[in-house]
Amino acid sequence: MNKRILGLDTGTNSLGWAVVDWDEHAQSYELIKYGDVIFQEGVKIEKGIESSKAAERSGYKAIRKQYFRRRLRKIQVLKVLVKYHLCPYLSDDDLRQWHLQKQYPKSDELMLWQRTSDKEGKNPYYDRHRCLHEKLDLTVEADRYTLGRALYHLTQRRGFLSNRLDTSADNKENGVVKSGISQLSTEMEEAGCEYLGDYFYKLYDEQGNKVRIRQRYTDRNKHYQHEFDAICEKQELSSELIEDLQRAIFFQLPLKSQRHGVGRCTFERGKPRCADSHPDYEEFRMLCFVNNIQVKGPHDLELRPLTYEEREKIEPLFFRKSKPNFDFEDIAKALAGKKNYVWIHDKEERAYKFNYRMTQGVPGCPTTAQLKSIFGDDWKTGIAETYTLVQKKNGSKSLQEMVDDVWNVLYSFSSVEKLKEFAYHKLQLDEESAEKFAKIKLSHSFAALSLKVIRKFLPFLRKGMYYTHASFFANIPTIVGKEIWNNEQNRKYIMENVGELVFNYQPKHREVQGTIEMLIKDFLANNFELPAGATDKLYHPSMIETYPNAQRNDFGILQLGSPRTNAIRNPMAMRSLHILRRVVNQLLKESIIDENTEVHVEYARELNDANKRKAIADRQKEQDKQHKKYVDEIRKLYKEETGKDIEPTQTDVLKFQLWEEQNHHCLYTGEQIGITDFIGSNPKFDIEHTIPQSVGGDSTQMNLTLCDNRFNREIKKAKLPAQLSNHEEILTRIEPWKNKYEQLVKERDKQRTFAGMDKAVKDIRIQKRHKLQMEIDYWRGKYERFTMTEVPEGFSRRQGTGIGLISRYAGLYLKSLFHQADSRNKSNVYVVKGVATAEFRKMWGLQSEYEKKCRDNHSHHCMDAITIACIGKREYDLMAEYYRMEETFRQGRGSKPKFSKPWATFTEDVLNIYKNLLVVHDTPNNMPKHTKKYVQTSKGKVLAQGDTARGSLHLDTYYGAIERDGEIRYVVRRPLSSFTKPKELENIVDETVKRTIKEAIADKNFKQAIAEPIYMNEDKGILIKKVRCFANSVKKPINIRQHRDLSKKEYKQQYHVVNENNYMLAIYEGLVKNKVVREFEIVSYIEAAKYYKRSQDRNIFSSIVPTHSAKYGLPLKTKLLMGQLVLMFEENPDEIQVDNTKDLVKRLYKVVGIEKDGRIKFKYHQEARKEGLPIYSTPYKNNDDYAPIFRQRIKNINILVDGIDFTIDILGKVTLKE
């Protein structure tokens, strides 16, 4: 019997596929068809650093939105100031033009009002200082304008507003922002200044330019609101004016709800998942765990569930405010007594044995615990007794509705003050209880089930049922209806009979009895009169259908539906699944596969063996033990230092571990670190990322150290340690790390094993080797991060994570089509582990034992797909047998075993697959696409379509223009710290600045000297931070728009930028004086964006490029886009043999560059390398070996273009156009 198999190798930007047939009689495979698709990644890779394209776009959008909101705020404040005559007059039309057209009002009076001048004593900080301490005469225009200028200055920068719902690092008490705010408040107090304006004016008055005022974190309420209130009080402003100013300056839109992004419930697809902080979910989670606990006591013969008394005994452990999470050992201790318990699989003998390890983490009920501390153990009744909003339209609220109200307030109120107000007035709490209520913080994660379903489960979980058993009962009350279920006799009858079916069901008898689901449905249908289809609503524990069943198209062919689902929010995974859909659907259309085809998908996860799993578990146990020791040490040292008690957090423990690793010193400055320098309020030292996250660093402990806050913020910034001027000193401080891992390597190498060794001894040595290797990896990784001069490509872990996610969802997606006709649960989709694929590659001769996998040619994806297709249960069994025989052979018994291949010439055929492989490059042209979104109008929601530029229009840097010796030169501002070589100083525009810098660094180490402060005027504290430099490479920049304030010099009136990439190249060809002549026209992304705007009148041109060339009027021959595929020929297109794949393979290239002088770069379709490739400028020759990259002028190229002269489908089939 033959069986068809589809093998899939999914990746973040690739999909290799292969179809093979298995011949049962011949016991071999046959290769039927194969292919490879390369597509754009869902991430941006620049200089080896990966970043999310969506995050990058969102970041730029957020900045634009911030500028827009700030402009609106200023306009609203100016309206108030104009209304009360506190600034020069501005008409509504002036402010409207600024709002809509960004045309800033530029009346002389307004410019004079805003202008600062040290000579005239005009300074906004001085104005704020006067308004705080001097009662101004508001009948005098100058004093009114002073007050207005102070208020307008408050508007421009209004500080950080803490949001109790914000869980980001900035909002944490020990985060960078709040630590900076605390530090500023301390400095103000030490300077004797109550108000921020006073303090900043004092700094400016005493130190001038020597101190930078704005480089500080400020708080809106503590600093700006406090100062605003003081100014209003001092100047005795009217309540109407204060109210208008308060609204204009301090109003802030609430955070946009992200509720729409929450996934759907597993059982009720129309319901959103429940927040994991809801008290009902906390009870659900607790009961699921408690019901699973089993114990074997001194008088028990085997493990048993907990008794009612035992459950009551451990329940209080879940409601401890101090321990939102705890170890299972707390439960064991409560039930068995101190040191009288053990895990059932431990060799140690104790009176009580449990089915959980003692280190197993257990989630508590933190929300409920905090509510109990305020309202008492019967907290729900406590709320009902004090809650004032008990009425609703149709009567009184139920107890559950009142509890939900209180939880919703805790979950949604962003202001602590409003929460306190609710506690005072709606819950009638006293001041102390209201303070406790306002401090409750909820987690913002989500469960897998909806609140509706959780409440259906709870009655059955409270009876002690397992989750799997409760799932069968949960929806029965809904199925049979209230009338039947509320009848005690009926309810008892259902519980007994369904319980008997559930508890006594034997899966091994499924073929005879049917599934448990079928038995329950039959019982309900046979005993009660139910509507048609009612029993289909029965819940089942395996109801995790991410995708609906595939449907047939108009021709009766099954096709995969859209992979879009609420369960997947990862754009990288989604892009891969869309390509997978196109490939599989095309294979189905061409009848190469059908729904009965077996599908093998590689899961790119590490396949750990038993010894490695044990080593990981042991190391985790050791770390847990070490962390508990650190907790005790922190308590002890902090008490000795401060005389105060402290309860260390997980962050404190991590800091302490880093402190120990660094021998109590800062690795960057060499300073001694004390316990109170990093633990407690306002720490001087905090956790930093060695490789900054902004350049690809992760948040693993390997990438973390304790560092001086100011050094990290002002000097290190986003630099690598190797880029710092004191790098050599840093390396000296981490020398012990290097010594440590080198010593560990020696210890690891001693843990050798050999054939014939006792298995127990051998296992111990292997486990020890694994543990030592983990230690080596940690210390070596930590050390090498300090020596990296650049972040290598692939350093980030994102791609590996992405592959695992893609393959996991690909498996779920494919199961919607490839399953048995009678049951979706009988899937034809099988998992092949990534490590297994690598092992089979080596055993079948595709890769040497210790050779690193070659990724230079895209064909390796296809080779993997063929390997994956040929891996089944038979192959795993053969591998196991081969290893057993090999072990026997090593012991000197038996002959050397051979591992059979899928077919006789498998190795040769697969290694030569590239000769017949057309790699399809999917590069969609997104530029013509328009944004579509639903907008709310008076007629309801309408689908709106707008203008959108797809792709980067130009590089980010703006260039200035100056005239030198009659020539326009372009300049750019550069931070002085960015200079790496002395010769770069020659590009500095200002000769005086250049000379000052050269004198300051003379006779010094350049790297170190340039990092030190260099003054233009040291007496006045004027630092040189940035300098204007000639941008010698910029000759013809793009002018994108005019400056707001136009210079008298025409060349200074535009914003100058440099083009990043060109969108299209049009080639024109014709006869001029009987000679074939070619011309070209280049379309930049900016020009393309203008053309594709919906508002553009497209009747002017029928095409994005003219139909004839400008110089000779030659007709348009073809158009080339970035990413487009072409087929090359030498003299005549008739040379191309469309039916000969080997001929096509050497001709297929991809457009990867369009240069401004009309030269085009073509990259070979199988070429996977990204750099270091030889570039050929000679014309294409049929008999030459392939060139990795061609860079040719238009006169030398002879090509057919995909989409114009031919098409290539997703499977790699080429068809010439008529």
Checking if the pLDDT of 699 tops 50, the result is yes
289-303, 705-719, 1157-1171: least confidently modelled range: 705-719
Between the alpha carbon of residue 591 and those of residues 597, 815, 901, 1096, the distances in Å are 11, 19, 27, 45
Most confident of 168-172, 469-473, 923-927: 469-473
Does the annotation flag 349 for ligand binding? Answer: no
3-state secondary structure 1005-1044: CHHHHHHCCCEEECCCCEECCEEEEECCCCCCCEEEEECC
- Higher-confidence position of 186 and 513: 186
The reported pLDDT for the residue numbered 369 is: 95
The reported pLDDT for the residue numbered 861 is: 93
Does the annotation flag 9 for ligand binding? Answer: yes
159-163, 383-387, 615-619: least confidently modelled range: 159-163
What average pLDDT score do residues 298-316 get? Answer: 93
Checking if the pLDDT of 1133 tops 50, the result is yes
Is the whole-model pTM more than 0.75?
A: no
What average pLDDT score do residues 718-732 get? Answer: 89
- Identify residue 1096 by its one-letter amino acid code: Q
Both tokens of residue 1071? Answer: 């006869």
What average pLDDT score do residues 581-608 get? Answer: 83
Separation between Cα atoms, residue 477 and residue 25, nearest integer Å: 54
Q: Give the SS3 label for residue 961.
A: strand
What are the contacts of 336-344 at 24+ separation with CB within 8 A?
A: 336/295, 336/297, 344/296, 344/303
Structural contact between residues 663 and 736, judged by C-beta atoms closer than 8 angstroms: yes
Separation between Cα atoms, residue 1177 and residue 1157, nearest integer Å: 14
What average pLDDT score do residues 1104-1123 get? Answer: 91
Checking if the pLDDT of 541 tops 90, the result is no
DSSP annotation string for 81-101:
HHHTTSSS---HHHHHHHHHH
The reported pLDDT for the residue numbered 656 is: 93
Which residues make Cβ contacts (< 8 Å) with residue 310, sequence separation at least 6? 295, 335
The reported pLDDT for the residue numbered 765 is: 84
Checking if the pLDDT of 1209 tops 90, the result is yes
Q: Report the Cα 1076 to chain-centroid distance in Å.
A: 54
- Higher-confidence position of 1209 and 256: 1209
Separation between Cα atoms, residue 1023 and residue 1000, nearest integer Å: 12
C-alpha dihedral, 738 to 740 to 743 to 744, nearest 10°: -110
Separation between Cα atoms, residue 562 and residue 17, nearest integer Å: 20
What average pLDDT score do residues 884-906 get? Answer: 80
- Among candidate residues 278, 469, 689, 860, the one labeled active-site is 689
What average pLDDT score do residues 1027-1034 get? Answer: 93
Which residues make Cβ contacts (< 8 Å) with residue 205, sequence separation at least 6? 126
Strand 352-354, strand 294-296: pairing = antiparallel
Separation between Cα atoms, residue 170 and residue 1201, nearest integer Å: 52
What average pLDDT score do residues 1193-1208 get? Answer: 93
Residue 332: exposed, middle, or buried by beta-carbon count in 10 A (0-12, 13-18, 19+)?
A: buried
Checking if the pLDDT of 809 tops 80, the result is no
Structural contact between residues 358 and 328, judged by C-beta atoms closer than 8 angstroms: yes
- Smallest CA-to-CA distance from 684 within 714, 712, 708 is with 708
Angle between helices 366-375 and 431-438 (to 10 degrees): 170
Separation between Cα atoms, residue 778 and residue 703, nearest integer Å: 10
Band (pLDDT 50/70/90 cuts) for residue 754 is low
Band (pLDDT 50/70/90 cuts) for residue 306 is very high
Separation between Cα atoms, residue 248 and residue 243, nearest integer Å: 9
The reported pLDDT for the residue numbered 131 is: 94
Per residue in 933-988, pLDDT (tens digit) is 788 788 788 888 777 777 788 888 999 999 998 899 999 999 998 898 999 999 99
Is 858 noted as a catalytic residue in this protein? no
DSSP annotation string for 282-312:
HHHHHHHHHHH-EEE-TT-SS-EEPPHHHHH
Band (pLDDT 50/70/90 cuts) for residue 12 is confident
- Identify residue 806 by its one-letter amino acid code: I
Per residue in 905-921, pLDDT (tens digit) is 999 999 999 999 999 99
The reported pLDDT for the residue numbered 1165 is: 95
Band (pLDDT 50/70/90 cuts) for residue 168 is low
Band (pLDDT 50/70/90 cuts) for residue 764 is confident
DSSP annotation string for 380-414:
HHHHHHH-S--EETTEEPPHHHHHHHHHHHHHH--
Between the alpha carbon of residue 339 and those of residues 190, 362, 728, 875, 1090, the distances in Å are 54, 19, 51, 48, 76
- Higher-confidence position of 739 and 650: 739
Checking if the pLDDT of 796 tops 50, the result is no
Is 689 noted as a catalytic residue in this protein? yes
Structural contact between residues 886 and 895, judged by C-beta atoms closer than 8 angstroms: no
Which residues make Cβ contacts (< 8 Å) with residue 412, sequence separation at least 6? 165
Between the alpha carbon of residue 463 and those of residues 307, 309, 440, 458, the distances in Å are 11, 13, 31, 9
The reported pLDDT for the residue numbered 530 is: 86
Looking at the chain, how many residues does it have? 1218
List the domain boundaries for the chain: 1-39+544-606+797-917, 52-250, 274-364, 451-537, 610-715+723-787, 960-1057, 1062-1216
What angle is formed at CA 333 by the lines to CA 327 and CA 336, rounded to 5 degrees? 140
Checking if the pLDDT of 399 tops 50, the result is yes
Band (pLDDT 50/70/90 cuts) for residue 513 is low
Separation between Cα atoms, residue 72 and residue 89, nearest integer Å: 18
- In CATH, the architecture of 1-39+544-606+797-917 is 2-Layer Sandwich (3.30)
102-116, 731-745, 823-837: least confidently modelled range: 823-837
Checking if the pLDDT of 407 tops 80, the result is yes
What angle is formed at CA 1091 by the lines to CA 1086 and CA 1096, rounded to 5 degrees? 125
Separation between Cα atoms, residue 830 and residue 809, nearest integer Å: 13
The reported pLDDT for the residue numbered 611 is: 73
The reported pLDDT for the residue numbered 409 is: 93
DSSP annotation string for 501-538:
HHHH--GGGHHHH--HHHHHHHHHHHHS---TTGGGG-
Percent of the chain with pLDDT over 70: 91
The reported pLDDT for the residue numbered 801 is: 39
- Higher-confidence position of 1092 and 486: 486
Separation between Cα atoms, residue 135 and residue 133, nearest integer Å: 7
Checking if the pLDDT of 317 tops 90, the result is yes
Instruction: Count H helices and E strands in the chain, helices first.
Output: 40, 42
Sign of CA dihedral 689, 692, 693, 696: negative
Separation between Cα atoms, residue 1151 and residue 1162, nearest integer Å: 5
DSSP annotation string for 181-232:
HHHHHHHHHHTT-SSHHHHHHHHHHHHGGGS-SSSS--BIIIIIIHHHHHHH
Between the alpha carbon of residue 228 and those of residues 75, 156, 1086, 1201, the distances in Å are 18, 13, 46, 67
896 DSSP assignment:
P
Q: Give the SS3 label for residue 904.
A: coil
What average pLDDT score do residues 96-111 get? Answer: 89
The reported pLDDT for the residue numbered 1064 is: 93
Does the annotation flag 545 for ligand binding? Answer: no
What are the contacts of 959-965 at 24+ separation with CB within 8 A?
A: 959/1031, 959/1034, 959/1037, 959/1056, 959/1057, 959/1058, 960/1028, 960/1052, 960/1056, 961/1051, 961/1052, 961/1054, 961/1056, 962/989, 963/1049, 963/1051
Band (pLDDT 50/70/90 cuts) for residue 517 is confident
Structural contact between residues 954 and 893, judged by C-beta atoms closer than 8 angstroms: no
Checking if the pLDDT of 163 tops 80, the result is no
Between the alpha carbon of residue 948 and those of residues 645, 941, 951, 1092, the distances in Å are 58, 21, 9, 9
Checking if the pLDDT of 1148 tops 50, the result is yes
Task: Tell me which residue has tokens 């303090």.
Answer: 199
Band (pLDDT 50/70/90 cuts) for residue 119 is confident
- Smallest CA-to-CA distance from 541 within 460, 469, 458 is with 469
User: CA gyration radius for the chain?
Assistant: 36
Per residue in 988-1010, pLDDT (tens digit) is 999 999 999 999 888 888 888 88
Mean pLDDT score of the chain, rounded to an integer?
Answer: 86
Checking if the pLDDT of 48 tops 60, the result is no
Band (pLDDT 50/70/90 cuts) for residue 436 is very high
What average pLDDT score do residues 364-391 get? Answer: 92
The reported pLDDT for the residue numbered 826 is: 72
Per residue in 828-879, pLDDT (tens digit) is 888 887 777 888 888 898 876 444 556 789 999 999 999 999 998 898 888 8
Does the annotation flag 1165 for ligand binding? Answer: no
Band (pLDDT 50/70/90 cuts) for residue 280 is very high
